[in-house]
């Protein structure tokens, strides 16, 4: 969709009262559409803002369809965070729809001149559901818990440069850094750094996040039924929020939210078409065009801060996986644009570097690498001494170019695996795809498979890609034991950046070094697609956050 189409789609959605004027402005801003362009588009047609849009009606339960099953709702130790986190918990800061970092539980933050400490002001008057006040000490408890490796915070490694967390007074929280680490701001806004009541967590033990939850969000926990649903209800005593982009600063409008895990792909689109749910995350890509043609639905699609990566095991030296040329040969054999067109129905983009082109740190220089060029692949493998054997499979010193590819079982993963298999067959490589259930898949990754396919999703993609490619995280989660000095240097630069400019420069270095040396091979990124029925207002998924927030959401009659 080019920019004009995007504007027109937004304006017509607004005209049909599917999104409010405010949503329109914010979404336009998120797409980089200025007020003047929007004004021109609006002028083409008379737009009246309905009274409903101005005065939200409280009440009702939002029914949201979700494409995954739910994980434990304990921010400190979970396997993933789901949309309910956005209703139950809050972080110190939040990403606004324009990509700007805005205050949430911290009203303010400053970075010391030497860049060796960050100070947050915790004075918003927020409370936990249990009534405990959110002060610097409460936040310190959470961050200390994250740093404790025994707790199992999934990405606690991102807090490694944070040497100590101090709470000199009730409203001051200081993160002491071992080296400049500007990126820490990108870390604390994510779901794994959401603030929960550690006292309640300690009391509840394993049950925290399962049957007991004590967060600061505008909703309280009601029920979790695995494979079925999560229910939350309005917290009437919510002290309010200071997030600038929220219109509603007080308690939520909704009485509750009901998330349904709709694991059968085709059912998701059918369910919202049928009016059984109000909003939906990720219908199947092949159903999106149909939904877009439905005048009762508004569909938005954003590039996700995610990516599919294809890792080779550097220890497989007999297959030359430790050779840059071999990895480049594999990469050039894959037609990413064709994958995006055929499998993602153009709801995605090719990845020539490690992160999505929509990310704010994206460096387009990566596009000069990894273009589809099977002839170049053949030349590269020939350079390494591989020649086609009798059956067409490459051979070198009696070693056949045959290896396993481990994927987690899911329909797109399987298709992607089979496309890689077919693409590499073209250049004489024999790939055996092994599609495994989740438990077996991570078991296999831990054992260092020949090669693997992995899908990551994280609000700050570089932060998590680092873990798959840096030699410091061998063997988990650098399952392929990738080790490339240039990449390691870029990682150090990123982690030591003391300012936004340094961070951006390090990010560019990181991307180009990966695009060239391929510690893991980037493939494609898919879009997140969000669908809403016309009565849902103030619901604003955007590309800088992986889920919408629910403070502003209300249901029109």
Partner 1 sequence: MGAFLIRRGLRFIVILLLASIAVFYALRFAPGDPTAGVLSPLAMEEAREAYKERLGLNRPVHEQYLTYIGNMSRGDLGISMVTGKPIGELLQVYGRNSLILGVTAFAITYLIGIPLGVLAAAKKDTFLDQAASGIGILGMGMPNYWLALLLILVFSVRLHWLPTSGCCTPKHLILPAVVLAAEGIAVTLRMTRSSMLDQMNSDYVRTHRAKGVDERTIIGNRVFRNAMIPIISLSGLRIGWLIGYSLIVETIFAWPGLGYLLVDSILRRDYPVAQFFALVLVAAVVLGNFLADLAYGLVDPRIRHA
Partner 2 sequence: MPDVVVAPSSSVGVVLRPDPPVQHRFARTVKRLSRNKLALFGTIVALIFIVLGIIGPSLAPYDYAKQNLMKANLPPFSEGHLLGTDQVGRDMLSRILTGIRISLVVGLGVTVISMVIGTLLGAVAGYYRGVPDSVISGIVELAWGFPLVLLAVILAGTLGPGLLAAVLAIGLINWAGFGRIVRGEILAIRESEFVLAARATGVPDRRIIVRHILPNIVAPALVMGSYYVALAIIAEAGLSFIGMGAQPPLPSLGVMVAEGRNYMMLNPWVITIPGLTILLIVLGMNMTGDGLRDLLDPRSKNR
Provide long-range contacts, Cβ within 8 A and 24+ apart, for 78-82: 78/154, 78/192, 78/209, 79/154, 81/191, 81/192, 81/194, 82/230, 82/259, 82/547
343 contact choice in partner 2, partner 1, none (CB below 5 to 8 Å, kind-dependent): partner 2
CB of 226 or CB of 385, closer to partner 1:
226
Interface of this chain with partner 1, residues 234 to 263, rule: CB under 8 A: 260-263
The least distance separating partner 1 from the CB of residue 533, rounded to whole angstroms, comes to: 15
Other Cβ atoms within 10 Å of 367 Cβ, number: 14
446 contact choice in partner 2, partner 1, none (CB below 5 to 8 Å, kind-dependent): partner 1
434 binds partner 2 (CB under 8 A): yes
Per DSSP, the residues of 258-280 read EEEE--SHHHHHHHHHTTS-SEE
C-alpha–C-alpha distance, residues 448 and 315, integer Å: 9
CB of 290 or CB of 360, closer to partner 2:
290
∠ Cα 547 416 510 (to 5°) = 65
Tokens matching residue 483: 């080790």
77 binds partner 1 (CB under 8 A): yes
- Contact flags string 292-331 toward partner 2, x per CB under 8 A: ----------------------------------------
214 binds partner 1 (CB under 8 A): no
Other Cβ atoms within 10 Å of 221 Cβ, number: 23
C-alpha–C-alpha distance, residues 309 and 453, integer Å: 6
- Out of 34, 58, 446, 485, name the contact with partner 1 by CB under 8 A: 446
- Out of 443, 446, 475, 485, name the contact with partner 2 by CB under 8 A: 443
- Contact flags string 341-370 toward partner 2, x per CB under 8 A: xxx---------------------------
CB of 403 or CB of 456, closer to partner 1:
456
User: Hey, CA dihedral for 485, 487, 491, 497, is it positive or negative?
Assistant: positive
Pairing of strands 61-66, 279-281: parallel
372 contact choice in partner 2, partner 1, none (CB below 5 to 8 Å, kind-dependent): none
The least distance separating partner 1 from the CB of residue 78, rounded to whole angstroms, comes to: 7
Name every residue whose Cβ is closer than 8 Å to that of residue 375 and which is 6 or more positions away in sequence.
Answer: none
79 contact choice in partner 1, partner 2, none (CB below 5 to 8 Å, kind-dependent): partner 1
The least distance separating partner 2 from the CB of residue 415, rounded to whole angstroms, comes to: 6
155 contact choice in partner 1, partner 2, none (CB below 5 to 8 Å, kind-dependent): partner 1
- Out of 45, 110, 130, 432, name the contact with partner 2 by CB under 8 A: 432
- Out of 30, 262, 284, 536, name the contact with partner 2 by CB under 8 A: 284
C-alpha–C-alpha distance, residues 73 and 63, integer Å: 19
270 binds partner 1 (CB under 8 A): yes
432 contact choice in partner 2, partner 1, none (CB below 5 to 8 Å, kind-dependent): partner 2
- Out of 107, 119, 172, 228, name the contact with partner 1 by CB under 8 A: 228
Instruction: Classify residue 45 as left (phi > 0), alpha (psi -120 to 50) or beta.
Output: beta
263 binds partner 2 (CB under 8 A): no
155 binds partner 1 (CB under 8 A): yes
C-alpha–C-alpha distance, residues 227 and 381, integer Å: 46
Per DSSP, the residues of 106-155 read -SEEEE-TTSSEEEEE--S--B-TTS-B--HHHHHHHHHHHH-GGG--TT
- Contact flags string 452-491 toward partner 1, x per CB under 8 A: ---------------x--------xx--------------
* Helices and strands in the chain: count of H runs, count of E runs: 18, 24
∠ Cα 82 173 80 (to 5°) = 15
Query: 451: closest CA among 517, 405, 495?
Result: 405
Contact 413, 420 (CB under 8 A): no
Contact 310, 420 (CB under 8 A): yes
CB of 287 or CB of 516, closer to partner 1:
287
Contact 493, 506 (CB under 8 A): yes
440 binds partner 2 (CB under 8 A): yes
435 binds partner 2 (CB under 8 A): yes
286 contact choice in partner 2, partner 1, none (CB below 5 to 8 Å, kind-dependent): partner 2
Residue 397 backbone dihedrals phi, psi, to 5 degrees: 50, 40
Residues that bind partner 1 (CB under 8 A): 69, 72, 77-80, 149-157, 206-207, 209-211, 224-228, 260-264, 266-267, 270-271, 273-274, 276, 436-446, 467, 476-477
Residues that bind partner 2 (CB under 8 A): 265-266, 269-270, 284, 286-287, 290, 335, 338-339, 341-343, 404, 409-411, 414-415, 417-419, 421-422, 425, 432-437, 439-440, 443
């Amino acid at each position: 969709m080019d920019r004009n189409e995007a504007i027109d789609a937004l304006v017509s959605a607004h005209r049909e009262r599917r999104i409010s004027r405010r949503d329109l402005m914010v979404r336009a801003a998120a797409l980089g559409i200025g007020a003047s362009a929007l004004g021109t588009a609006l002028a083409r047609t008379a737009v009246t803002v309905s009274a409903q849009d101005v005065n939200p009606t409280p009440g009702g339960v939002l029914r949201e369809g979700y494409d995954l099953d739910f994980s434990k709702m304990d921010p400190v130790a979970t396997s993933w965070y789901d949309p309910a986190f956005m209703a139950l918990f809050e972080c110190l800061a939040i990403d606004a729809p324009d990509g700007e970092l805005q205050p949430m539980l911290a009203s303010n933050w400053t970075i010391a001149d030497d860049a060796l400490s960050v100070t947050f002001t915790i004075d918003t008057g927020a409370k936990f559901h249990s009534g405990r006040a959110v002060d610097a000490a409460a936040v310190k408890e959470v961050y200390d818990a994250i740093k404790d490796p025994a707790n199992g915070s999934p990405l606690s490694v991102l807090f490694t440069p944070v040497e100590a967390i101090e709470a000199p007074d009730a409203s001051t929280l200081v993160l002491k850094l071992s080296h400049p680490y500007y990126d820490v701001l990108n870390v604390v806004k994510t779901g794994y750094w959401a603030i929960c009541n550690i006292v309640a967590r300690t009391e509840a033990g394993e049950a925290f996040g399962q049957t007991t939850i004590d967060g600061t969000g505008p909703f309280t926990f009601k029920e979790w039924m695995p494979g079925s649903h999560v229910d939350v209800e309005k917290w009437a005593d919510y002290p309010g929020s200071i997030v600038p982009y929220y219109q509603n600063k007080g308690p939520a409008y909704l009485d509750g939210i009901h998330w349904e895990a709709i694991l059968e792909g085709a059912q998701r689109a059918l369910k919202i078409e049928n009016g059984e749910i109000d909003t939906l995350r990720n219908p199947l890509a092949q159903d999106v065009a149909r939904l877009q043609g439905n005048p009762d639905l508004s569909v938005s699609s954003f590039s996700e801060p995610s990516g599919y990566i294809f890792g080779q095991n550097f220890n497989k030296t007999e297959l030359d996986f430790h050779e840059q040329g071999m990895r480049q040969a594999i990469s050039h054999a894959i037609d990413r644009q064709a994958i995006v067109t055929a499998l993602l129905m153009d709801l995605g983009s090719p990845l020539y570097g490690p992160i999505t082109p929509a990310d704010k740190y994206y460096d387009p220089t990566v596009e000069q690498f990894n273009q589809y060029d099977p002839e170049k692949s053949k030349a590269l493998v020939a350079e390494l001494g591989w020649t086609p054997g009798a059956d067409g499979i490459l051979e070198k010193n009696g070693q056949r170019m045959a290896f396993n590819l481990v994927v987690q079982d899911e329909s797109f993963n399987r298709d992607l695996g089979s496309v890689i298999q077919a693409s590499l067959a073209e250049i004489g490589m024999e790939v055996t795809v092994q599609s495994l259930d989740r438990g077996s898949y991570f078991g296999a990754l831990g054992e260092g498979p020949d090669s693997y396919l992995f899908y990551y999703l994280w609000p700050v993609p570089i932060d998590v890609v680092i873990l798959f490619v840096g030699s410091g995280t061998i063997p988990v989660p650098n399952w392929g034991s990738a080790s490339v000095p240039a990449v390691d240097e870029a990682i150090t630069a990123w982690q030591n950046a003391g300012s936004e400019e340094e961070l951006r420069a390090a990010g560019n270095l990181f991307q180009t070094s990966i695009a060239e040396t391929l510690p893991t091979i980037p493939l494609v990124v898919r879009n997140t697609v969000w669908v809403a029925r016309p009565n849902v207002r103030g619901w604003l998924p955007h590309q800088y956050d992986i889920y919408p927030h629910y403070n502003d959401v209300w249901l029109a009659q």
